[in-house]
A and B are shown apart, each in its own frame.
Chain A
Amino acid sequence: MYSGINISQTDARPMYLQIMEQIRARVAAGDWEPGKELPSIRALAAALNVSVITIKRAYLDLESEGVIVTRHGKGSFVANVNGLAGELQEARVDEHLDQAAQLGRQLGLTEEDLAARLRRAYRNVDKK
């Protein structure tokens, strides 16, 4: 179930973020469907050889994002919300766009410049 989750310590991002991302990706792809039970914190920690505290943090943050739901004494489950997968996909797009916007501002691009570039990139997708 979670053998595909990979934590790389050479990745610049903190371990808890990597875990969150990989869980989000599975939910977004529909592999982990709404209502599915997540591995217990300790079971995942043992499977990934990652500290319990890191898994706990990932689960807590995922819960505050609304991706998972933790029921005390019962475990954690993928949130049973319609369209969650779609929402998560769109959230990824927003994340990338935020980065592009920030970089653009730093380089001094105008809103129109940035929009033009985005349009060009969109059209280029079909060409590839």
Chain B
Amino acid sequence: MEAKHIEMHGVRKTYRFFTLDDLSLELAPGEVMGFVGPNGAGKSTTLRLAMGLVTPDAGEIRVLGQPMPAASASAKREVGYVSAEMLLLPNATLGWHMDFVKAIYPSWDDAYAMTLVKRFNLRREQNARSLSLGERIKAVLLLTLARRPRLLILDEPTTGLDPVARHEVISEFMDVLQDDSRSVLFSSHNTVDVERISDRITFIDRGRVVESSNKEDFLDRWRRIQLQLPEGAALPALPNIVSRNVDGRFVTLVTDRFSEGFAALLGPNVREVQRMNLEEIFVANVMRHREVRGS
């Protein structure tokens, strides 16, 4: 069995106004993990820790089996990192960057690189300075994808992209997954995309992992239930209620442990049982997490 691509256990990183605490995360080969959290939750920090760009104050990090940040130089040979804030080197063209990266990585695929240039609607002669946000992200992605890294770590890769560009970019990630020895970890605000392409999803809030699970499992377990109670009736006693909203005789419940058994407990007053999309699950999960932590 092949080793995990990313393993983080009990990682802690303290900054002046923010602490990432007890962070544990695992990514298996062939998997896509979506990393979701509010702004400032610690997503970028986590991805930087995975890349060995930041040294943790506690805990263990292994990427492609190698300890980070100690072995970051060699691990990075097979890891591709793209962040929305990344800029290319000024005073140099995309073509120069392509030659630069090609000289450094033996796994560079020229034909694929040229295909991506066309597909992403870029030109080799474009100067790094003159690229728009969308073009910049696509350019960095191109430079990363063309060398076919085993692990892709992407920090908000679709933020700021128009729908067409987003579709192009996501298609390229998904192409990566045709090889089951490669994997992708990406953070995003776009819960629609995360819901669609992730195999696993990790929620993070205020420096802590709120929940990490298989996507289908999430979507199966969470439900919003609307009940209409008859006059004078009380709410049935139910376990695993994440939130409850009472409006006269209409009650809306959210549960994260829906099952056949649970459905049976609901009784005859159910008006509707709705599946929740990832955005709704995410908000409900984070709200609960914040209540529990008393913040």
A/B: CB atoms within 8 Å of each other: yes
Known A-B contacts A9-B195, A51-B199, A52-B30; A45 and B177 likewise in contact (beta carbons under 8 Å): yes
The answer on a CB contact under 8 Å between A51 and B180 is: no
Restricting to A33-84, which residues have a CB under 8 Å from any CB of B? 42-43, 45-46, 49-54, 57
A104 at the interface (CB under 8 A from B): no
- Determine the chain B residues whose CB is within 8 A of the CB of A12 once the complex forms: 274-275
Give complex CA distance A16, B30 in Å: 19
Restricting to B46-96, which residues have a CB under 8 Å from any CB of A? none
A30 at the interface (CB under 8 A from B): no
- Determine the chain A residues whose CB is within 8 A of the CB of B174 once the complex forms: 45-46, 49
Give complex CA distance A7, B170 in Å: 15
Residue from A7, A46, A51 within 8 A of B198 (CB atoms): A51
Known A-B contacts A12-B275, A14-B219, A14-B275; A52 and B177 likewise in contact (beta carbons under 8 Å): yes
- Determine the chain A residues whose CB is within 8 A of the CB of B197 once the complex forms: 49-51
Nearest A residue to B176, CB-CB: A46
Chain A interface residue count, CB cutoff 8 Å, equals 17
The answer on a CB contact under 8 Å between B177 and A50 is: no
Chain B interface residue count, CB cutoff 8 Å, equals 24
- Determine the chain A residues whose CB is within 8 A of the CB of B219 once the complex forms: 14
Residue from B31, B216, B274 within 8 A of A57 (CB atoms): B216
Tell me whether chain A's interface is mostly helix, strand or loop, or mixed: helix
- Determine the chain A residues whose CB is within 8 A of the CB of B171 once the complex forms: 46, 49
- Determine the chain B residues whose CB is within 8 A of the CB of A52 once the complex forms: 30-32, 177, 199
Give complex CA distance A16, B219 in Å: 11
- Determine the chain A residues whose CB is within 8 A of the CB of B175 once the complex forms: 46
**Nearest chain A CB to B38's CB is how many angstroms away?**
22
A23 at the interface (CB under 8 A from B): no
The answer on a CB contact under 8 Å between B195 and A53 is: no
Interface string of B203-223 (1 = CB under 8 A from A): 000000000001110010000
- Determine the chain B residues whose CB is within 8 A of the CB of A53 once the complex forms: 199, 214-216
Interface string of A78-122 (1 = CB under 8 A from B): 000000000000000000000000000000000000000000000
B3 at the interface (CB under 8 A from A): no
The answer on a CB contact under 8 Å between A15 and B30 is: no
- Determine the chain B residues whose CB is within 8 A of the CB of A50 once the complex forms: 196-197
The answer on a CB contact under 8 Å between A49 and B170 is: yes
Give complex CA distance A42, B32 in Å: 12
The answer on a CB contact under 8 Å between B178 and A43 is: yes
Give complex CA distance A43, B192 in Å: 21
**Nearest chain A CB to B290's CB is how many angstroms away?**
27
The answer on a CB contact under 8 Å between A51 and B196 is: yes
**Nearest chain A CB to B175's CB is how many angstroms away?**
5
Residue from A7, A46, A54 within 8 A of B177 (CB atoms): A46
Restricting to B153-201, which residues have a CB under 8 Å from any CB of A? 167, 170-171, 174-175, 177-178, 180, 192, 195-199
User: B residues within 8 Å of A by Cβ?
Assistant: 30-32, 167, 170-171, 174-175, 177-178, 180, 192, 195-199, 214-216, 219, 274-275, 277
In the assembled complex, 15 residue pairs joining A and B whose CB atoms fall closer than 8 Å, in A order, are A9-B192, A9-B196, A14-B216, A42-B177, A42-B180, A45-B174, A46-B174, A46-B175, A46-B177, A49-B167, A49-B174, A51-B196, A51-B197, A51-B199, A53-B215
Closest 7 pairs (CB-CB, A-B): A53-B199, A46-B174, A46-B178, A51-B199, A42-B178, A49-B174, A51-B197
